[in-house]
Structure 1
Amino acid sequence: MKDMIAYCGLNCEKCDAYIATINNDQTLREKTAKLWAKLNNAPILPEHINCHGCRVEGIKTVFCDSLCGIRKCALKKGVATCGDCSDIEECKTVGTIILNNPEALKNLKE
């Protein structure tokens, strides 16, 4: 389970992209792509919805692999998660997530 906690503290096992990938659920891929496209005002297609988790080997969504500022920062700093970073208290990069998701902050502290 610990490997499935994203750098930001979110649980990858609860992510629709992960669930659709491990269950090969095309309907969930389509639903997720539609929602994420709307939320991000971006052309996200069902074939983009494939991910094994942001901290484990395997396929990742384009966002998680290439665009996520949190993941880029954690990889650059060499931390397992943002919870291991000395700057977490004042970090604006992960701040929005942990401010709006108490479970993510709890995951980072464990």
Structure 2
Amino acid sequence: MKQLIACCGLDCETCDARIATINDDDVLREKTARAWSALNNAPEITAETINCMGCRAQGVKYAYCSTYCEIRKCVRAKGLGTCGECVDLEHCPIVGAIFLHNPQARENLSSSAED
């Protein structure tokens, strides 16, 4: 499985926070901060907070991903790599919210279980 697939199945490789970090792109950081602030009604998201190398990759993590993400906490507590390894995946209300907004995440986890 790709190391850049997050615990929830999102693809960190396509995440604007990771792209901005890799390219040290302050314009993309600002754009991402504005978008995420509006999406999450969270004015505390600023360009300075947009730094991440990916959920499961080595290096800096976006604060939400490293500290607050209930999905990542659950996966780590169970000693798993991703939700794709969990027997409760199909009935999990926590990761299910991700699937509603990003069906590709479910597919990413399904393909990871086959690897």
For 2:101 and 2:35, the matched residues in 1 are separated by 19
Alignment partner of 1:106 is 2:104: no
**Amino acid of the residue matched to residue 82 of structure 1?**
C
Structure 2: segments with no counterpart, 5+ residues? none
Calculate the TM-score normalised by the size of structure 2. Answer: 0.91
For 2:62 and 2:79, the matched residues in 1 are separated by 21
More displaced 10-residue stretch of structure 1: 80-89 or 1-10: 1-10
Alignment partner of 1:84 is 2:85: yes
C-alpha RMSD of matched pairs (Å)? 1.0
Question: 1:45 aligns to what?
Answer: 46
For 2:14 and 2:105, the matched residues in 1 are separated by 12
Instruction: Check 1:41–1:99 CA distance in 2 against 1; reply closer, same or farther (3 A cut).
Output: closer
Question: 2:61 aligns to what?
Answer: 60
CA shift for structure 1 position 23: 0.7
CA shift for structure 1 position 46: 0.5
Structure 1: segments with no counterpart, 5+ residues? none
Question: 2:2 aligns to what?
Answer: 2
Runs of 4+ displaced beyond 3 Å: none
CA shift for structure 1 position 27: 0.2
CA shift for structure 1 position 99: 3.0
What percent of counterpart residues are identical? 57
Aligned residues: 110
CA shift for structure 1 position 90: 0.6
Question: 1:75 aligns to what?
Answer: 76
